Amino acid sequence: MSATQVARKKGTPALTARGRSGGAAFDDAVPSGRRMRARQHRRAQLTAWAFVAPVVVYLVVFYAYPLYRNLDLSFRDYTLRSFIDGTADFVWFDNYATVLGSATFAPALINTAVFTGVSILFQFSIGLALAVFFFRNFPLAATLRALFLVPWLLPLLVSASVWAWMLNSESGIINAAIEALGGPQVNWLTSPEWAMASVLIANIWIGIPFNLVILYSGLQGIPNDVYEAASLDGANGWQTFWRVTLPLLRPVSAITILLGLVYTLKVFDIIWIMTKGGPVNASTTLSIWSYRLGFGGQSPDLSPAAAVGNLLIILAFVFGLIYIRAQRRLVNS
């Protein structure tokens, strides 16, 4: 049996937790004296760190440093002049005060919450329904499931432009369908009432495949005899779903939802392409607001943009930490 097969056999991917099968191939040589062992240990550590060092340097230069620059930026008054001579006045919390006092702040925060919450609610429930549906083996199930992945793999810019055209007021296919059924013309992207719904539809569509795949793998992890027991006890399909499948799927569900939160908070491309956050602020989220301040207009307002970005990052980290905790629990269970 090849090593690949050995590795594959180690149960479901979700449960091959690191640390359980600890690997120490290079420091388990025959011990001969404590000092020699200590030296060997040091050498092994040096070797190990030689492999890890590039990524650590990379993390510092390309994650920590941009984050630091962003933080620094948010405490300064960065103007066009600053680009040339590199100086900017330190203004303490002025940018944060400007941002929090802005008329855009409340709508942006509410829109971020609505966009994230509604997206996840629909992505998750549709994804779960589809996962359960595809889990019952039928001819072509695997192929169709694979086709479902396509929307997730497309460049977001492509998906967003296709939806923008489909939702076009005069020439879009969606309005054509609504009008064919006797409904009114809806100004999806250009009216404040519908702009948020439009970007939500597109975003939910993009997120369904991801939820489907993860929840499907979660279903695979539920042992078959649980279902057999339920069926012996006379449970019907509906009862089995609510009393067996859903409770056993809880750890995977928690991770799917939290990961969805972290991803959805970041969404930028879809909204920017479809509505640019408008009309007025109807679909402006924190990401969009930050981008618009920094790069959207004629004169870049980088410092307030950085302040908005840092508010967003606090939200992302809160959910991120909950995610990491939930995942630890899944791995340890």
Partner 1 sequence: MTARRSWWKTLIGVALTGIMLFPLYWMINVSLTQPTDLRRDPPNLFPVNPTFDGYTTVISEQLPYLATSLLVGLGTVALTLVLSAPAAFALAKLRPVGGTAVNFLLLIAQMIPGIIMAMGFYLIFNSWGLLDSIPGLILADSTLAVPFGVLIFTAFMTGIPDELLSAAKIDGAGAWRSFRSIVLPISRNSVVTVSLFTFLWAWSDFLFASTLNRGGDLQPITIGIYKYIGNNTQDWNAIMATAVVASIPAAVLLVVAQRYVAAGVTAGAVKD
Chosen residue from 32, 171, 224, 236 binding partner 1 by CB under 8 A = 171
End-to-end CA gap in the chain? 29
Hey, which residues between 237 and 276 contact partner 1 (CB under 8 A)?
Answer: 252, 255-256, 259, 262, 265-266, 268-269, 273
Structure tokens at 30: 């025959």
Site string for partner 1, 213-242 (x = CB under 8 A): xx--x-------------------------
90: helix, strand or coil = strand
* 48, 121, 246, 280: residue in contact with partner 1 (rule CB under 8 A): 48
Distance in Å, CB of 172 to partner 1, minimum: 8
Verify binding: residue 75, partner 1, rule CB under 8 A. Answer: no
Residue type, 180: A
How many CA atoms, within 13 angstroms, populate the side-chain half-sphere of residue 323? 15
**Closest CB 265 distance from partner 1, rounded Å:** 6
Task: Identify which range of 91-99, 176-184, 192-200, 224-232 contacts partner 1 by CB under 8 A.
Answer: 176-184
Q: Residue 321 is encoded by which pair of tokens? A: 């930490």
Burial call 265-296: b when 16+ CB within 10 Å, e when fewer: bebebbbbbbbbbbbebbbbbbbbbbbbbbeb
Minimum CB separation of residue 242 from partner 1 in Å reads: 21
Question: Judged by CB under 8 A, which stretch of 114-122, 224-232, 236-244, 315-323 contacts partner 1?
Answer: 315-323
Task: State which of positions 89-128 bind partner 1 (CB under 8 A).
Answer: none
Chosen residue from 166, 186, 196, 204 binding partner 1 by CB under 8 A: 166
Tokens linked to 14: 């979700």
Closest separation in Å from C-beta 170 to partner 1: 7
Of 21 and 299, CB closest to partner 1 = 21
Q: Which amino acid is at 130?
A: L
**Residue 210 engages partner 1 in binding (rule: CB under 8 A):** yes
Between the alpha carbon of residue 266 and those of residues 92, 280, 285, 315, the distances in Å are 26, 21, 10, 10
Restricted to residues 125-144, the positions that interact with partner 1 (CB under 8 A) are 130, 133-134, 136-141, 144
Q: For residues 246 and 314, give the distance between their C-alpha atoms in angstroms, rounded to a whole number.
A: 31
Tokens, residue 16 = 């091959």
